[in-house]
Amino acid sequence: MYWPGMQIALAPMEGLVDGILRDVLTRMGGVDWCVTEFIRVSDRLLPQSSFRKLAPELQAGAVTRFGTPVRVQLLGSDPICLADNAAFAASLGAPAIDLNFGCPAKTVNKSRGGAILLREPELLHAILCEVRRAVPAHIPVTAKMRLGFDSPDGALDCARALVDGGAEQLVVHARTKVEGYKPPAHWEWVARVQEVVAVPVYANGDIWSLEDWRRCREVSGAENIMLGRGLVSRPDLARQIAAAKQGQNIAEMSWAEFQPMLVDFWQQARGKIAPRYAPGRLKQWLALLTRNYPEAVALFAALRRENDCARIDAMLGVETVGIPVAALG
């Protein structure tokens, strides 16, 4: 598999970066590929609806409206069951299968999913071997990991296990499960991982700005990055980084330039999410936008206790939504 030069990926953030937000963020530019929220695999072959719920792009060529490829991410611990579901996802059009070994959520870890598996490099290897065997050769299998559960001591063994099993790329969130999202991210460990594997390694964690990217690149040596909360809170960050990599300097997006995208997000949420839940999705994104936009602080304060969709329409300057609200499936 040939991987081109520096790539910027949008992280799979459960409960936050859904098909709607992927659509909006990738239209900002700079994102080379993105990943679905994890699809939980336990003891059976999931129905087609389970995949299309979290990966609606499968019905449109597995790309966002902007044309950005969307990989399907699976989470679980049963090698055979993961392999069966990976093969099914591939048959539905997934351009790549990504495996989640980084989720720090307690509920996920208690059921042997996500970062807890970093305690078992032999199991990581077995999972990759089975999934790679089951998925057509032309479809890449990739993996996301943290530095470990409570210590980075086994990070290199885990990375080798994943790559030896067939992972063609690794994304390394440069913290342990126990560290969660507390700064700092240990970017120097990304460099150590890259030294022991012969596949591209992506640096992930605490890249909130152009300056963070420059420091991450210097410390980790990584040409490839995955952006999560940094991109959600600064929607043009990928575009800024992509331009800087080419030696260009482009102006940051103003709130006035960004506001139509926020309105579009709200209109899509109104059309695809039940009215009782749509306001929460808007507030969730606005809360992260307050990190970089003073205007978002004021809007979030005004909307914080508002749950009436029509009144939110008015506050955003939306005269008519024009999209029927679908019931949750």
Contact 182/175 with Cβ under 8 angstroms? yes
- How distant is the alpha carbon of residue 323 from its chain centre? 27
- DSSP letter, residue 320: -
**309 is an active site residue:** no
Active-site residue (options: 103, 158, 216, 309):
103
Half-sphere exposure of 130 (CA within 13 A, CB side): 18
Spatial distance between the Cα atoms of 29 and 42, rounded to a whole number of angstroms: 36
Q: Cα dist. 257→23, 176, 240, 252, 311 in Å?
A: 17, 37, 15, 10, 23
State the burial class of residue 256 (Cβ atoms within 10 Å of its Cβ: 0-12, 13-18, 19+): exposed
Active site residues: 103
